[in-house]
Structure 1
């Protein structure tokens, strides 16, 4: 395998620069400018540049084009949503692909496949992939690939799994409203807080008593807000959460039961229950043939391939790309000997060595003879 240690200073600089300008979904303005400037400085062709995100093609005249995708958005670090940090490692995904493109454009004459690169906004919102697809980022592509860092795996490990890999994700908000009253006289009004807590408790039984236990799913309530004083029963209360699934029937069951429980709570407590659900991602299924080729390509190499893993309940909008053309989503370990802060944790970071391994992965994927033979 090619070594990319000579890129270490530049990889470190990219991590620092992109980390410094971390921006939220669909507001990655400075990040996009930084990416575009890097591409232009290194003479990498650009096809489309948007306010947030861009894509382009290194065309070597081959019949086949494969797409390589990196996400670019960051996460909020405070409740107000005014400060942001790359707690999911998207800056490292961007750095990996930028360095790989720098290398590949310098070796364009050796390529046997055209490269469509995609720097995608708004993965955390689950809608960035759909935006880029609408703009034609996969037009003419035969395959698509993506990388994400993983804090549960050792640095140098790669997770590759054919078939079911990551869950579909639905985000929901539930609003309870009723007649407010003095907390000392609850019988004279409606207690939306008690109604909401019973709603949460009953919804957990969807997973434990209504769903087939063989089928994977999870339902979590993660945010609650309401009320204004210790002695006033709240007039309104709002809850947010998510459920994850692999099977369309399970998704339908969860949605149906959540609404049925809402109707029951309304009947019992006399409060209004309004449920709004937004689909974030569909289940992600890696193409079996392409995944097996990658396992063959990287087995016994510097990157240790791990295929013994269960499907993950996390969601990823890369799944939408895989509905349009076959491809593979890969997880790359970043953890040291003593463990690592998890994704979305305030202390999460990506070591520069992981960026170099990701760069190597992209270059090997594009240039390796095993892949080239498929194109001849």
Structure 2
């Protein structure tokens, strides 16, 4: 019965993906579904998404949070640009709802409060902080997230007690100069050449090689239809990755130093600088231990693998960085996922969602 309802949720979300901060119908669907199942969900006041409390939140009781992300990516699928669930958020939501259905009415809820959070906007890295501003995190002791893992990280039927994501950041900016006639290159600085120097200088950034990191230009738009114009303007974007928050801060510092140098050397303006990013994981050992025990209880010792270290990112980790006392970690679920996360035709073994639900359920039972 629970499996059928999880399948129903998954199929609806997969067929009706919505982009970050636009998850209006998704929020309404989850809200109605939970209402029909006898829960009392609450929509967030200022953002899409919702949460639902079950159990006993009396003072002195342990409060555990469980988080699902609900937004989809925007990508080209078979020649059509559209919202698409290629990161598994439809599966995450289904597993969390399955956990709610399984724990409903359990005697454990007499001494434990559980807050199920359906978070928007993970894909753009702003959802977690927005949820925190709704004031629903402060009273929690534990917080568990879940994410499907690709085959190269976890075999189907296996699970990891944490996902140690790296920090990710992007810097967008505009090289602002003047155009010039193709016959008069001395009258301006070619934005393409300026951008080329930025790319070359980025490759010369050398920081501690023991901690994985990378920086590269991922967007460069300059010039137009008239090829006899030397462009003075370019729109640029840089992607930064680092396995620790300290390494990311150092990397960003070097990038901004390069941009300042370019401004001075070429006498151009670097304008409209926009920076965004997500932090690296700072998982709590108590949460890792809780999830590990729950994996062993459900799958057995041989199916519990070490924490997964990945250069990918997830805004879930804002919760533990913003609230240092919060015991948080993400369950990494092996599910035969291929060819990879964010591939437009990503597939996985749907039956693995039962493992994820059972582990999350067991974690609630195991919390003290």
Instruction: Tell me, yes or no, whether TM beats 0.5.
Output: yes
Instruction: Measure how far apart 1:288 and its partner are.
Output: 1.2
Superposition map of 1:253-264 within 5 A: 253-264=250-261
Q: What is the root-mean-square deviation in Å for CA atoms of aligned residues?
A: 2.4
Q: Say if 2:164 and 2:307, in contact at 8 Å, map to a contact too.
A: no
Instruction: Measure how far apart 1:139 and its partner are.
Output: 3.3
Q: Say if 2:67 and 2:117, in contact at 8 Å, map to a contact too.
A: yes
Q: Say if 1:169 and 1:244, in contact at 8 Å, map to a contact too.
A: yes
Superposition map of 1:325-336 within 5 A: 325-335=326-336
Q: Say if 2:262 and 2:268, in contact at 8 Å, map to a contact too.
A: yes
* Mean CA deviation greater in 344-353 or 80-89: 80-89
Q: Say if 1:92 and 1:350, in contact at 8 Å, map to a contact too.
A: no
CA distance in 2, matches of 1:366, 1:266: 55
Superposition map of 1:3-152 within 5 A: 6-50=1-45, 52-60=48-56, 63-78=61-76, 83-105=82-104, 107-111=105-109, 112-152=111-151
Superposition map of 1:218-237 within 5 A: 218-229=214-225, 230-237=227-234
- 1:113-157: CA deviation from partner (whole Å, max 9, x where unpaired): 211010000111111111111112213211100001111322222
Cα distance, 1:143–1:351 mapped onto 2, change above 3 Å: same
CA distance in 2, matches of 1:160, 1:41: 32
CA distance in 1, matches of 2:196, 2:312: 25
Q: Secondary structure at the match of 2:236?
A: strand
Q: Secondary structure at the match of 1:252?
A: helix
Instruction: Measure how far apart 1:306 and its partner are.
Output: 1.1
- 1:7-57: CA deviation from partner (whole Å, max 9, x where unpaired): 443333222210121111111000001100111010112244445100121
Q: Secondary structure at the match of 1:307?
A: coil
CA distance in 1, matches of 2:307, 2:130: 33
Q: Secondary structure at the match of 2:318?
A: helix
Instruction: Measure how far apart 1:308 and its partner are.
Output: 6.0
Paired residue for 1:3?
none
* Mean CA deviation greater in 266-275 or 344-353: 266-275
- Give the TM-score normalised by structure 2: 0.88
Q: Say if 2:119 and 2:128, in contact at 8 Å, map to a contact too.
A: yes
CA distance in 2, matches of 1:284, 1:308: 12
- For the pair 1:322 / 2:320, whether they are aligned, the reply is yes
* Mean CA deviation greater in 168-177 or 30-39: 168-177
Instruction: Measure how far apart 1:275 and its partner are.
Output: 6.6
Instruction: Measure how far apart 1:86 and its partner are.
Output: 0.7
CA distance in 1, matches of 2:108, 2:286: 25
Q: Say if 1:7 and 1:356, in contact at 8 Å, map to a contact too.
A: no
- For the pair 1:302 / 2:296, whether they are aligned, the reply is no
Count of residue pairs brought into register by the alignment: 355
Q: Say if 2:3 and 2:98, in contact at 8 Å, map to a contact too.
A: no
* Mean CA deviation greater in 343-352 or 226-235: 226-235
Paired residue for 1:179?
178
* Mean CA deviation greater in 174-183 or 317-326: 174-183
Cα distance, 1:31–1:350 mapped onto 2, change above 3 Å: farther
Q: Secondary structure at the match of 1:254?
A: helix
Q: Secondary structure at the match of 1:102?
A: helix
CA distance in 2, matches of 1:357, 1:247: 30
Gaps of 5+ in 2: none
